[in-house]
Structure 1
Amino acid sequence: MRIGIVVDSACDLPIDYLQKHNVTILPITVRIGEAVLADQRNEEATLEFLKAHVAEHGHEAETMPYTVQQIQDLFLQRLVIDYDYVFCMTIARTRSPIFDNATQASFAILNDYKPVRSAAGITTPFALRVLDTQSLFSGQAITAVESIRLREAGESPPKMRARLEQVAQNTRAYMVPRDLYYIRARARKKGDRSVSLFSAALGSALDIKPVLHCHRGETSPVAKIKGFDPAVERLFKFTARRVRNGELMTPTVALCYGGELNEMRALPGYRELVDSCRTHQVELFESVMSLTGMVNVGKGALAVGFASEAGGFDD
């Protein structure tokens, strides 16, 4: 059976990895003033756009995910011919309408695919599953990588579906932002009043950085640490311990950074995490944060994703 994999462009994985494994991307378009870029996970284009627009005006951006009709067209024009079963994995539905758009599109796709496949000489049925990863940033990468691993191992769609849903339930994404004022401005633009001016001003004045944790679609702070570098170091060391203790559900850790990757690699704790992953045969992915991610959390933020039943954020 030909199994296809679809992710949206907020899934933080390197574009060469996605292309190598024939993963289809649902682009998210970002508009800042008159500047428009469809995020196709092109790191060079993202960094150029970042330098030109995001640093000063990113909090004013509008993000436009694929519509129901665009998703329907993509499937009926190509994917229902190329594949027999497709897994479409989206950013958390609590953060974006992509899951709902894809779910709505799936009804029309499953109703209209037969003439398209028949015209291509294919008589077998087509099926698809829309999966809410319940995560964002590097967290989305974990289910995508696991779906590729399962497909390459020859697993059936029912077994893949059960496993991917289990992984999504246990995926954890952690993020350290650089600029709380930016996050507050962005939150207000989207109508989210959860980051108060007082909290942003106090945190910035004292250089306090929160460590944010996204799990099962909900995001909350799990620590507040003085200084960006110390906060990142603690997050890297925490992740390295999870790796060394054998607490990961899948052999995968994903990192993304809102800027040049060489900046991330120079941060304290990075080398310890790299060495721990190498020693324990855990695959480590590194990518520039998606443009969608950067306009929401600001330049220079760092995120880590992995799957584990163990919760908490310990020393």
Structure 2
Amino acid sequence: MRFGIVVDSACDLPAEFCAAHGINILPISIRLGEETLVDDRDPALIMRYLAEGLGARGAAAETEPYTVEQIRDVFLERLVLHYDCVFCLTITSTRSPIFERARKASFAILNSYQTPRRAAGIDGPFLMRVVDSQTLFAAQGVGVYEATRLVGANSTVGAIRERLEFIARNTYGYMLPRDLYYLRARAQKKGDGSRSVGWFSATLGSALDIKPILRGYRGETGPVGKARGFDTGAQALFAYAQARVRAGLLVPALCLSYGGDLAEMRALPGYDSLRTTCGEHGVELLESPMSVTGMVNVGVGALTLGFAATEHEAKF
């Protein structure tokens, strides 16, 4: 059976990893003033967003994932011909409509795939499974990494789906923002102020250089710690991730993404120690620039981190 993997462009994974495993991307359109950007994780677009300072306009941007019809067309025109089973792993359904749109599209796809496959001389059924990652950004990559391992091990469709849903429930995602004013402005634009950094917290935090450490877990997002200064916050986050690596992960991978040049992330305090610890414990460290969609939503210079682990209490 030919397996395929589909993710939305907010999933942060290295371009080389996606190319090596044939991972397909569902783009997200971003309206910046009079210009529309199509975020398909093209490294050139990420570089342009940073080099031209487009993030200064990001808080007011409009983002629009593929519609149900667009997702359906991508599958019927291409994916049903290349694969016999596709796993679509989406950003958490509590923060984006992509999961629900993909789920609705799956009904039309599974009712219509026979015609294009028959015309191409392909026998046999086509299967599609949509999985809510329950997390976002770098953490979304953890489930994708596990999917590639399961496909490589020739696991059954049922076993893969069961495992991916288990990993989704046990994936921890963390984010450290640089600009609380930006985060608040973006939350207001999306009508999400009740779940985000308030005006007083943003003002006080910026004045004192206090940075919140935010967690995404089982579809819920919120602060779990704080640090004075971005570097201090990054060091605390890296140290926490090291402790989880030593305790043992459910998937031998730790994903990092950064809203800027990765050289800046690698220069942060605690990074070298985290990389060494991952190497000592057989954990692959996957690093990528944050997607343009991610930077629009949380700001340039933000750091995100994700791994899968047994249930535990985060302490910072």
How many angstroms apart in 1 are the aligned matches of 2:54 and 2:193?
21
Instruction: Provide the residue aligned with 1:131 in structure 2.
Output: 131
1:227 to 222, 226, 229: 229
Q: Do the aligned partners of 1:92 and 1:99 also contact (CA within 8 Å) in 2?
A: yes
Instruction: Provide the residue aligned with 2:187 in structure 1.
Output: 187
State how 1:1-315 maps to structure 2 within 5 Å.
Answer: 1-194=1-194, 195-246=197-248, 248-315=249-316
Q: TM-score, normalising length from structure 1?
A: 0.98
Which amino acid is the alignment partner of residue 156 of structure 2?
S
**CA shift digits 1:118-150 (9 cap, x unpaired):** 111122011100110001011100000000010
How many angstroms apart in 1 are the aligned matches of 2:312 and 2:174?
12
Q: Residue 116 of structure 1: CA displacement? A: 1.2
Q: Residue 252 of structure 1: CA displacement? A: 0.6
Which amino acid is the alignment partner of residue 213 of structure 2?
V
Q: Secondary structure at the match of 1:135?
A: coil
Q: Secondary structure at the match of 2:204?
A: helix
How many angstroms apart in 1 are the aligned matches of 2:74 and 2:143?
22
**CA shift digits 1:129-188 (9 cap, x unpaired):** 011000101110000000001000111110000000000000000010000000000000
Q: Do the aligned partners of 1:54 and 1:299 also contact (CA within 8 Å) in 2?
A: no
Q: Residue 312 of structure 1: CA displacement? A: 2.1
Q: Which runs of 5+ in 2 are unaligned?
A: none
Q: Do the aligned partners of 1:222 and 1:312 also contact (CA within 8 Å) in 2?
A: no
How many angstroms apart in 1 are the aligned matches of 2:4 and 2:20?
13
Q: Do the aligned partners of 1:6 and 1:26 also contact (CA within 8 Å) in 2?
A: yes
Q: TM-score, normalising length from structure 2?
A: 0.97
How many angstroms apart in 2 are the aligned matches of 1:242 and 1:193?
31
How many angstroms apart in 2 are the aligned matches of 1:220 and 1:311?
16
Which amino acid is the alignment partner of residue 124 of structure 1?
G
How many angstroms apart in 1 are the aligned matches of 2:164 and 2:193?
33
How many angstroms apart in 1 are the aligned matches of 2:89 and 2:247?
29
Q: Do the aligned partners of 2:55 and 2:295 also contact (CA within 8 Å) in 1?
A: no
* Residue range with higher mean Cα deviation, 100-109 or 30-39: 30-39
Aligned length: 314
How many angstroms apart in 1 are the aligned matches of 2:98 and 2:211?
30
Q: Percent of aligned pairs with the same residue?
A: 55
Q: Do the aligned partners of 2:49 and 2:55 also contact (CA within 8 Å) in 1?
A: no
Q: Do the aligned partners of 1:175 and 1:302 also contact (CA within 8 Å) in 2?
A: yes
Q: Secondary structure at the match of 1:6?
A: strand
How many angstroms apart in 1 are the aligned matches of 2:181 and 2:309?
31
Q: Which runs of 5+ in 1 are unaligned?
A: none
Which amino acid is the alignment partner of residue 186 of structure 2?
R
Computed over aligned residues only, the root mean square deviation of the Cα atoms, in angstroms, reads 1.0
Q: Residue 245 of structure 1: CA displacement? A: 2.0
